[in-house]
Amino acid sequence: MNLRARQAALAVSILFATSDVAAAWQVPQAQPPLEATGCGGRASLAITVTDDSGLIPIPGATVVLRWTDAVRRPVREEADGDGRLFLCVPRDAGQATLWAEFGDASSEEALIALEPGAAHEVQLGLLFGETRTGRLIGQVRDARTDQPVATAAVSIAGRPEVVVSDQRGRFALSGLPVRGHELSVQHLGYAALTHPVTVTRGLTTEVEIGLSPDPVELEPLVATATRPRRLEVGGFYERRYWGELTGNGTFFTAADIERRAPLRITHMVADVPGVRLANCNLQGHGCRLYSTRASTGFSDEGCQLNVYLDGNVVVRGSNERWSRAAGDGPLRNRPPPESLNNLVLPGEIAALEVYVGAAELPAEFGGPDSRCGAVVIWTK
């Protein structure tokens, strides 16, 4: 049994464990509607995730949603035991793009226009089965000014679907067969672009496109990269997207780290504004990273950043200051934090996030010990 078949079987077995066989095969639309009350006149989204037949709900599938016309944090939440998710829409949001993921399966992307006070029902069908597919997402920019290009027509040779980049120049194509494709991008006033891209099974290929307004003066620019699945599941790309909108956080990919080629990762983190490196010995061990934008109240040396490795906290910067403050109390024997350089090498890192204060931190890295900020590391 291949991986997709096992995933589909797992989803069905979960359903059968929570309801009888007859109920499990009901069409999702036949179930009682999700309550639209409590949104205070705002639009609501009732999302159901199913298999590609549209008959079997998929419990625990992940729904990813981005507000395309509002500066709002992207949503990444799991559907309930019936494959359903209900959301109240922010008042300033008039449009959203969303899709669903389960294992290495993904749905087509849906673009929804949101009317105030209206209840919107969306069904997202995961592409299981034998067809091997992947996703292509990207951003179109002006190669001269680096500004986003909206309403660019993006298509794949031999396929009828044409998508249009949004106001931030972003686009997505889902359900593409796993193989090489010819990507076409066109916009009035720019030189047309065609470029080969490769779609990988169950993964997302990211494309950065720079269209030239003057084909004689400047060649179009294209950069492609396959997104590691660990980073997608961990929400890295949603946080980076939000950080680009708000200026909160600094983000590095493996390609960024490779270009910089730091001897130790603390050297790269210390270049982020608001971060100070201290206590390193000659071998580069014992290094501590401090936020210069926050204070512990216990010393003038700064506020030490927490460190997360693959979603788990491995260094609590608060340990050191708590030990000083505790004196002979119960915290006096708490060990000092490890150095980041002792945990991971630069070449082992898939992505890096740096937040230099509590105001920048996403909720998943917040808490009572987080006022100094955090360094978040994702390994390959």
- Report strand pairing: 204-211 vs 133-142: parallel
Q: Is the pLDDT of residue 163 over 70?
A: yes
> What is the predicted pLDDT for the residue at 318?
59
Q: Is the pLDDT of residue 329 over 80?
A: no
Q: Domain 236-379: what homologous superfamily?
A: TonB-dependent receptor, plug domain (2.170.130.10)
> What is the predicted pLDDT for the residue at 127?
77
Inter-residue contact 185 to 209 (CB < 8 Å): yes
Residues 197-224, mean pLDDT to the nearest whole number: 81
Q: Is the pLDDT of residue 232 over 70?
A: yes
> What is the predicted pLDDT for the residue at 298?
55
Q: Who's near 189: CB < 8 A, 6+ residues apart? A: 213
> What is the predicted pLDDT for the residue at 296?
58
> What is the predicted pLDDT for the residue at 176?
86
Residues 193-203, mean pLDDT to the nearest whole number: 87
> What is the predicted pLDDT for the residue at 322?
37
**Buried residues in 216-243 as b, exposed as e (16+ CB within 10 A):** eeeebebebeebbeebbebbbbbbbbbb
More confident of the two residues 182 and 69: 182
Long-range pairs for 241-250 at CB < 8 Å and ≥24 separation?
A: 241/66, 241/74, 242/73, 242/74, 242/362, 245/71, 246/71, 248/355, 248/359, 248/360, 249/353, 249/354, 249/355, 249/360, 249/362, 250/353, 250/354, 250/355
Q: Is the pLDDT of residue 324 over 70?
A: no
Given the structure tokens 């580069």, which residue do they identify? 284
Inter-residue contact 59 to 18 (CB < 8 Å): yes
> What is the predicted pLDDT for the residue at 141?
93
- Tell me the pLDDT band of 6, cut-offs 50, 70 and 90: very low
Residues 150-168, mean pLDDT to the nearest whole number: 90
Point out the least confidently predicted range of 35-39, 71-75, 150-154, 157-161: 35-39
Q: Is the pLDDT of residue 308 over 90?
A: yes
More confident of the two residues 336 and 304: 304
Angle at alpha carbon of residue 250, lines to 245 and 254, rounded to 5° = 115
What residue spans in the chain does CATH classification 2.60.40.1120 cover?
A: 3-125, 133-227
**Can you list the alpha helix ranges (DSSP code H) found in the chain?**
3-18, 21-24, 229-233, 236-246, 254-260, 265-269, 318-326
What is the strand order of the sheet 180-186 is part of?
A: 162-164, 153-156, 180-186, 193-198
- Tell me the pLDDT band of 79, cut-offs 50, 70 and 90: very high
> What is the predicted pLDDT for the residue at 368?
76
- Tell me the pLDDT band of 227, cut-offs 50, 70 and 90: confident
How many helices and strands in the chain, by DSSP H and E?
A: 7, 24
> What is the predicted pLDDT for the residue at 245?
81
Most confident of 82-91, 106-115, 128-137: 82-91
More confident of the two residues 207 and 335: 207
Point out the least confidently predicted range of 38-52, 149-163, 180-194, 272-286: 272-286
Distance, in Å, from the CA atom of 126 to the CA atom of 48, rounded to the nearest integer, reads 11
What residue spans in the chain does CATH classification 2.170.130.10 cover?
A: 236-379
Q: Please give the mean pLDDT across all residues of the chain.
A: 80
Q: Who's near 248: CB < 8 A, 6+ residues apart? A: 242, 355, 359, 360
Q: Is the pLDDT of residue 314 over 70?
A: yes
375 CB neighbour count, 10 Å cutoff: 25
Question: Cα dist. 219→103, 194, 212 in Å?
Answer: 39, 12, 6
> What is the predicted pLDDT for the residue at 284?
63
Distance, in Å, from the CA atom of 240 to the CA atom of 246, rounded to the nearest integer, reads 10
Residues 113-118, mean pLDDT to the nearest whole number: 90
Residues 202-214, mean pLDDT to the nearest whole number: 87
Distance, in Å, from the CA atom of 67 to the CA atom of 72, rounded to the nearest integer, reads 6
Inter-residue contact 307 to 229 (CB < 8 Å): no
Q: Is the pLDDT of residue 2 over 80?
A: no
CATH 2.60.40.1120 is right for the domain spanning 133-227: yes
> What is the predicted pLDDT for the residue at 70?
80
Please give the radius of gyration of the chain, using alpha carbons only, rounded to the nearest integer. 23
Q: Who's near 104: CB < 8 A, 6+ residues apart? A: 3, 4, 7, 201, 202, 203, 229
Residues 338-342, mean pLDDT to the nearest whole number: 76
H or E element at residue 369: none
Given the structure tokens 């997608």, which residue do they identify? 232
Given the structure tokens 């969303």, which residue do they identify? 98
Residues 254-274, mean pLDDT to the nearest whole number: 91
Distance, in Å, from the CA atom of 198 to the CA atom of 179, rounded to the nearest integer, reads 6
> What is the predicted pLDDT for the residue at 35?
47
User: For residue 272, which phi and psi values (nearest 5 degrees)?
Assistant: -70, 130
Q: Domain 3-125: what homologous superfamily?
A: Carboxypeptidase-like, regulatory domain (2.60.40.1120)
Q: Is the pLDDT of residue 91 over 50?
A: yes
Question: Cα dist. 16→10, 74, 78, 82, 127 in Å?
Answer: 10, 32, 19, 11, 21
What is the token pair recorded at 281? 């010995």
Residues 117-122, mean pLDDT to the nearest whole number: 92
> What is the predicted pLDDT for the residue at 21?
33
> What is the predicted pLDDT for the residue at 217?
61
